Amino acid sequence: MAAVSPSSHLSKAVRQQYMSLPQGETCQVTYVWIDGTGEGLRSKTRTLYSEPKSIEDIPEWNFDGSSTYQAEGSNSDMYLIPVCMFKDPFTLDPNKLVFCEVLKYNRLPAETNHRLSCSKVMEAVKEHCIWFGMEQEYTLLGVDGHPFGWPTNGYPAPQVSASSGLLIYNCSVGAQYAYGRDIMECHYKACLYAGVKIWGTNAEAMPSQWEFQVGPCEGIEMGDHLWVARYLLHRVCEDFGVVATLDPKPMVGNWCGAGCHTNVSTKEMREKGGLQFDSFSAGVANHGASICIPRQVYQEKRGYFEDHHPAANCDPYTVTRAIVATCLLDTDEGEDSK
């Protein structure tokens, strides 16, 4: 059995005693941002003396970028620019979570801040009302790196049944198949409470692997909501003492990897006769193809397509910007993102 963190054994009853104390008119605001790895998330919290009603009520803040792989110690101040606000499911209303862009000392975007360039591209195509939905797969691990629920020595039953040839863990039910459902359900409720546009969830093809879907989100909102959903996932896992990894290939051998399939739809695609594409490799209801056209979409001749390229640890700003540049802009993505 995978090892869990010591903090997960701390008394939750004692914690609740303090969490239930009144806080008057004050408000805790937790600032969340992407660190210098481009995959990790960081956060810190401050007190405001009234509840913010909109993102404009949240002040800019700063942090030491030399501690987050984002600056040298000799010039380490970085700016946190609030861009979207959510309710905090851990400390509850009126407390807030605020997702932030990171700017360097000279007010230029940090190297891992791809939101600004994505936002410019989305603004350029706003008349298309482009919608995205992203399917985030993740794997639960113990703090020792061993998959949650897997035998200490050896492996669980293969993901493909020898007798039927079918996947036995995907969308599974039962203690012998589904490992960590409590975490999935708590994350789902945390997203709903916060205001994240979570659409659904399911067990995935490998044991201890799960998926949640975020969307439909229009334009830049896709990246904002997926990053906050990831933050909530890591926080929920922290309470349970386990780790959620977005590693595209968390286990070597004949085990499924983890992706972040991206569904795309423009206003024109959603209208009658919208299923018209230039030539490229695609397949109807073919999840082995790079581009999958759902069968219902094919039958109705309108809707969306699913891009299977993105890996689980992708940056949704980079992915959605590339899709928009490819599908809707006449120039190279790199030129448009400058």
Query: For residue 75, what pLDDT is reported?
Result: 84
Q: What is the pLDDT of residue 335?
A: 44
pLDDT of amino acid 291: 84
DSSP state letter for 60? P
Residue with tokens 């936002």: 119
pLDDT at 208 over 60: yes
Tokens representing 31? 């600032």
- Which of 207, 203, 101, 195 lies closest to 155 in space, CA to CA? 207
On the question of pLDDT at 104 being above 90, the answer is yes
Confidence band (pLDDT; 50, 70, 90) for 154? confident
Of the listed ranges 167-176, 207-216, 270-279, 306-315, the least confidently predicted one is 270-279
Prediction pTM value: 0.93
Kindly give, in sequence order, each residue whose CB lies less than 8 Å from that of residue 235, ignoring residues fewer than 6 positions away: 90, 190
**Helix crossing, 115-124 with 316-328: angle to 10°?**
30
* C-beta separation of 233 from 141 below 8 A: no
What residue has token string 């987050």? 68
Evaluate if residue 219 carries a pLDDT over 70: yes
Distances (CA, A) of 140 to 156, 186, 266, 300: 14, 14, 34, 38
Percent pLDDT > 70 in the chain is 93
Cα angle: 165, vertex 170, 175; to 5 degrees: 105
**pLDDT tens-digit map of 23-74:** 999 999 999 999 999 999 999 999 999 999 999 999 999 999 999 999 987 7
- Is the model's pLDDT at 285 over the cut of 80? no
pLDDT tens per residue, range 85-101: 999 999 999 999 999 99
Mean pLDDT of the chain: 92
Q: Given the structure tokens 């620019």, which residue do they identify?
A: 81
Q: What is the pLDDT of residue 278?
A: 59
CA distance 157 to 141: 17
Per-residue pLDDT, averaged over 255-277, amounts to 92
Q: What is the pLDDT of residue 275?
A: 78
pLDDT band at 274 (very low <50, low <70, confident <90, very high): confident
pLDDT, residue 281, reads: 53
Structure tokens at 178: 């589904």
φ, ψ of residue 336 to 5 degrees: the values are: -70, -25
For residue 286, what pLDDT is reported? Answer: 56
For residue 94, say if its preceding peptide bond is cis, omega within 30 degrees of 0: yes
Report how far apart the first and last C-alpha atoms of the chain are (Å, whole number): 48
92, 190 contact by CB (below 8 A): no
CB atoms within 10 A of CB 123: 10
Band of residue 244 on the pLDDT scale cut at 50, 70, 90: very high
Q: What is the pLDDT of residue 287?
A: 59
Residue 333 is predicted with a pLDDT of: 47
Cα distance between residue 100 and residue 145, in whole Å = 30
Q: pLDDT band at residue 283, thresholds of 50, 70 and 90?
A: low
Domains of the chain listed by start with CATH number: 6-112 (3.10.20.70), 124-336 (3.30.590.10)
Residue 1 has pLDDT above 80, yes or no: no
Mean pLDDT of 270-287: 68
Question: Can you list the positions of beta strands (E) in the chain?
Answer: 27-34, 41-48, 61-64, 77-87, 96-103, 131-141, 198-203, 209-218, 243-245, 260-265, 282-284, 291-293, 305-307
